[in-house]
Structure 1
Amino acid sequence: MFGISEIAVILIVVILVVGAKKLPELARSAGKSARILKAEARAMKNKDADTTTAPAPRVIPGETVPPRGPEQDTRPQ
C-alpha cells in the first residue's frame, strides 16, 4: 500500500506539525487507544462466544419438571 519513502514523508510532516516534544505523548496515547480497542474487541468476542455456547440443562433420572406457562402462576394472591 505505502512504500518506505511515503511513510518517511508522512512521519516528517507529522513531526513538523506536531512538534518533536509532543511526539512521545502522541505515541503513548495512540498505544493506549490501541490497547483499549483490542481489549474491547476481545471482550465482545468472548461475550458472543459465551452466549452461543450455553450449557445443556442438567438431567436427573426419575425427576420430571412440568412446563411452566402463564396459567400456572405460583404467586400468592
Structure 2
Amino acid sequence: MIVLKVEKQGDDVVLVPNDEALALLAAEPGDIFVVSETEGDRLVISKQRSLEERFERGRAFLGRYRKTFEDLAK
C-alpha cells in the first residue's frame, strides 16, 4: 500500500512517502512531482524532468528523425 504521511518540519508541511511509494515513483532527493486533479476526484502524479533531461530527449528525437526533417525541408 502506498502511504504518504503529512508532517510539519519547521515552517514547512511535507509529505513523507513510504519505501513502496519511493520505489514506485522512482523518487530521489530533489525530484519534483506535479499533482493534478481529474474528474472523479482522482489525482495524477507526474515526475517533472530536469531541463537537461528534456534537452537530451529532444536531441535524441532530432537525431532519430534528422533525415525525415531534411527531406521535409526540401
The structure with higher relative contact order (CA 8 Å, sep 6+) is: 2
User: TM-score surpassing 0.5?
Assistant: no
Structure with a larger share of its residues in helix = 1
TM-score with structure 1 length normalisation?
0.29
